[in-house]
Each structure stands twice: as structure tokens, then as C-alpha cells.
Structure 1
Amino acid sequence: MDAKCVVKGGVKSTTESGSGRFPLTAWEVATASGVVLSFLIGLVGLYLTMPVSDYSFLKLPRSLEDLQILRDNLESYTSDYTVQVLVGYCLVYVFMQTFMIPGTVFMSLLAGALFGVFKGVALVVFTATAGASSCFFLSKLIGRPLVFSLWPDKLTFFQAQVAKRREGLLNYMLFLRVTPTLPNTFINVASPIVDVPYHIFFLATFIGIIPAAFVTVRAGIALGDLQSMGDLYDFQSLATLFLIGIVSVTPTLLGNKSK
């Protein structure tokens, strides 16, 4: 049966009538595979510049215990092989953001544990913005079928909000970045689909992630005191983030009321 065009909330998509069909074409899979291969080549090249040692501790952290083991082992390398550790950190963080791999919060905690507050925040903001931008452009190339397949309802909502707030879009995008209204992963992949200009996406990401980055990196300094991820964002931290989000979107709301 031929493909059918479906329009939801102003977003036009192409869906196949057969259920269970893989949403990516061969070309799109090849493009994503090429990006993955580029990251792998970079990591292998980095590995070859490190001293011969047992690197069995190197893995993506999935718990606070994993993170503490990684921190304990990397501390000895950070002072002697600072450039390699920094490059490796950036490659892993950007890779995780590009392909929507969960766990970047652990990487942000690690930045605080290894580099302190100011360097850690700068590192997290840089890598998170680079990773989000990489995800944005990859989604622009091949993300449309995945977004429609995974988040059709969220996409319809996001499309309507973006269309309604075009004149104050930067403030709205800042609000989304600061508050958990929509997942950051969704914002990264859906923004090019609903025609959010990259310069607005970039500015909102770069500025909007600073508060959460500061909270997470600061917690990473006292990593041993964290008993669970629930300790990371206390009531005061969450209230502060929401307050910043409300302030960022207020000019847009006032502008709409004045019309």
C-alpha cells in the first residue's frame, strides 16, 4: 500500500501503512553509522595516546557507584594527561547527547568531581551545547521519521507552541531549557522539525543550561555525600530553576497580552 501523508498540528509527516516498519531508510542508517564511526575513530586515537594500563574501569556510568569508581581512577590521570582526559570527556558527552543516550547527568557530576565548579560548569556548558547542536543537525538530516514515531503527541504540542510564540521564541526556548516542561532530548531532536532557527536554539541552550549545570557540577564536588540521585535536586534547587524559567518567559507573555 502507498505511503499516506498525515498532518497533525501543522506538522506534515509521512507514515507507512504497515505496522512495525523500521522508520529509517538505508541512507539515513548509513549517515548515522558514519557519525558513530567518526566518534569511535576519535576515541581509538585518544586511547592510543594514553599510557599502557588497565582501563577496565572505563565505561558509561549508570549509577553513583559506577561514577565514584570512574572518578577514583580518573583522578590520577587528570593531572598528568589533562588534554587527553578533556578530549575524551568531550567526545563521550557529545556522543551521548547526539544519540540521546541517557546518563549525561552522571557526566556532569564527573566534571565537578574532576575539575571543580568553574572549570566543570564551563566544560559541561560547552559539551552540552555542542552535543545538543550535533543532535539538532543530525535530526535535521535524518530525524523526522524517528520523531514522528517516538513522540507524535509531544511534537504536535511543541509545533503549536512554537508557532504561537514566534515573536518571543528565544524566551520560550529558554523557559523550556530551564524547566522540565519538555525533555531536553526531545527539544534537541524536535527543534529542527518544527523550524526553530538554529541561532535561537543555540542561544537558548547555551544560556538555559547554565543553572542546572551549576547545580549538578557543584554536587559532583561532594560526590561521596550523595546517597541517591534524588539528593541532587533538592526543593530549593528546583524552585530556583522554576523561578528562572518563569522570569525568562515573562516578557513573551506580557507581549502577547499587550496585542
Structure 2
Amino acid sequence: MGTEDEAEQVQQPAPIASKFPLSFWEATVASTVLVGFLFGFAAVYLTLPDSDYSFLKLPRTLQDLQLLRDNLENYTSDYTAQVLVGYCVVYIFMQTFMIPGTVFMSLLAGALFGVFKGVALVVFTATAGASSCYFLSKMIGRPLLSSLWPDKLKFFQNQVARRRKSLLNYMLFLRLTPTLPNTFINFASPIVDVPYHIFFLGTVIGLIPAAYVTVRAGLALGELESIGDLYDFNSVATLFLIGVVSVTPTLMSKSES
């Protein structure tokens, strides 16, 4: 009887709670960061004048973005600080928690602030959001990545280990080409031991070309029919060429050794 009871116990499925990849402490850290962002949203919202803000939502289509642009244009000149802070909080929040749609935010920057200010704003917020994601992942990311993308994580880890001596060039290459998604790079970099100063420089420099392409397109937002119009053959080829140039020193050092 004892043997049968033990066999039944072995065959019982593991409790659902044990499958959750984060410990209580890690979930608490993530929740605390989320609550901090919510307070930031509330602070920005409360400083705006009384009005109908039903248009305020994360854009998911070009139509949503055009509606948001049309309404925010009325506020940007009179409440520039609030719009800027609100924009930064939203962009950094999306980057921190890997929420898709930052391309719409980059288009919005161009539509509201022009090319020069828009590129500076996008690079700043994208770098801040990527850094926030980096440090959050440093605390809680390993179990999530191991659970969600084990193969992709192993590939990235092997590539980083092979290019340790020219890691900045490799990070620039990743930022400039679609080899790996930027959100994955942000979250996985601390797990595969990419030093923060390399991560930071690769992000700041590597995001500028793509930010310029997207922000400039925001100036003619009404002419865009789809997100695919942003990246025509010439734009993609240019970004890829820059990426190849950035990784060339790494390839040459390997061939010489």
C-alpha cells in the first residue's frame, strides 16, 4: 500500500504556483516599479487643465496616432513641460516592460517637436527606458528569460561570449540591424553579462539612425498608410550597411588572430 501511495504522489502534477517564474521578492520588485510609473502618470494627469482626455491612450494604429497628434498639438505650446514629462514617462514605461508600440511614440515625437528635438527626445527616452529594463532584468530577468526564450537567450549568450573583446561593435550591430529585437536585447543583456557602459553606449549611438528615420516620417504623418512605409528599401539598406560597418573591426580582428 505504501508503494502505491508513493507512486500516486509522484504522478500528481506540480502545483500551478511553482510554475510561476518569479519568486515573491522578484514579483514585489516588479510591482513596485509598476506602481512608481502609475504615480508618475497620475502626477502628470493632475497637472493638466480640466478637459476631455478620452483621446489619451497608447496608439495601436496610425489612426489612433493621428487623433492623438491632433489633440496634443493644442496642448504642446501652452503645456510643453507637462506634455514632455508625460511623453517621457509613457515611453520609458513601455520600454521598461517591453510593451510594443514605441514606434508610434517616435512618430509622435516628430509630429509634435520636429526632427532635431524629436530625435533627441526619442534617443533620450529610449535609452532611459532600455536602461530601466536592463536594471529591472538584472534583478528579476533570469527566470523569465529562461522560461520564455531559452533558445534565443542561449544564442545571445554564445554570441556575446565570442565577441567579448569587441563587444561595443557587436552591440552597435544589433541596434542597427533586426538580428534580435531591441526589447529582447534590453532584457537579456544583463543576464549574458553585457557591462552597462557597453550597453549604454551601444544604445545611445545605435538608436540614432533608426530614430532619425522614424521621427522624420512623423513630420508627414498624414501621408503614411502603414508602418511598413517607414522602412523602404533604401532606409533598411542604409541601416544594415551602417550595422555591417560597425561590426567590421570585430570580423577583422578575428581573421587576424
TM-score (norm 2): 0.93
**Structure 1 counterpart of 2:137:** 139
Superposition pairs for residues 1-259 of structure 1, below 5 Å? 18=14, 21-259=19-257
In structure 2, distance between residues paired with 1:217 and 1:173 = 22
SS at match of 2:20: coil
In structure 2, distance between residues paired with 1:218 and 1:38 = 32
- Deviation per CA, 1:137-190: give whole Å up to 9, x if none: 000000111111111111111111100001000000000000000000110010
In structure 2, distance between residues paired with 1:19 and 1:64 = 44
Residue identity (%): 77
After superposing on structure 2, the runs of 4+ consecutive aligned residues of structure 1 that deviate more than 4 Å are 17-20
1:18 CA drift (Å): 4.6
In structure 2, distance between residues paired with 1:253 and 1:226 = 38
1:22 CA drift (Å): 1.1
1:27 CA drift (Å): 1.2
Aligned-partner residue type, residue 52 of structure 2: D
In structure 2, distance between residues paired with 1:19 and 1:195 = 33
Aligned-partner residue type, residue 129 of structure 1: T
SS at match of 2:59: coil
Aligned length: 243
- Deviation per CA, 1:56-82: give whole Å up to 9, x if none: 000000000000000000000000000
Note the residue ranges of structure 1 that are not aligned, 5 or more in a row: 1-16
SS at match of 1:143: helix
With 19-28 and 222-231 compared, the bigger mean Cα shift is at 19-28
In structure 1, distance between residues paired with 2:71 and 2:173 = 38
SS at match of 1:224: helix
Aligned-partner residue type, residue 212 of structure 2: F
Aligned-partner residue type, residue 231 of structure 2: Y
- Alpha-carbon spacing, 1:142–1:195, altered in 2? closer, same or farther (3 Å): same
Name whichever structure is richer in helix by fraction.
2
Question: How much is the aligned-residue C-alpha RMSD, in angstroms?
Answer: 1.1
1:133 CA drift (Å): 0.2
Pair member with larger Rg: 2
In structure 1, distance between residues paired with 2:163 and 2:55 = 47
1:19 CA drift (Å): 8.8
Note the residue ranges of structure 2 that are not aligned, 5 or more in a row: 1-12
Aligned-partner residue type, residue 53 of structure 1: S
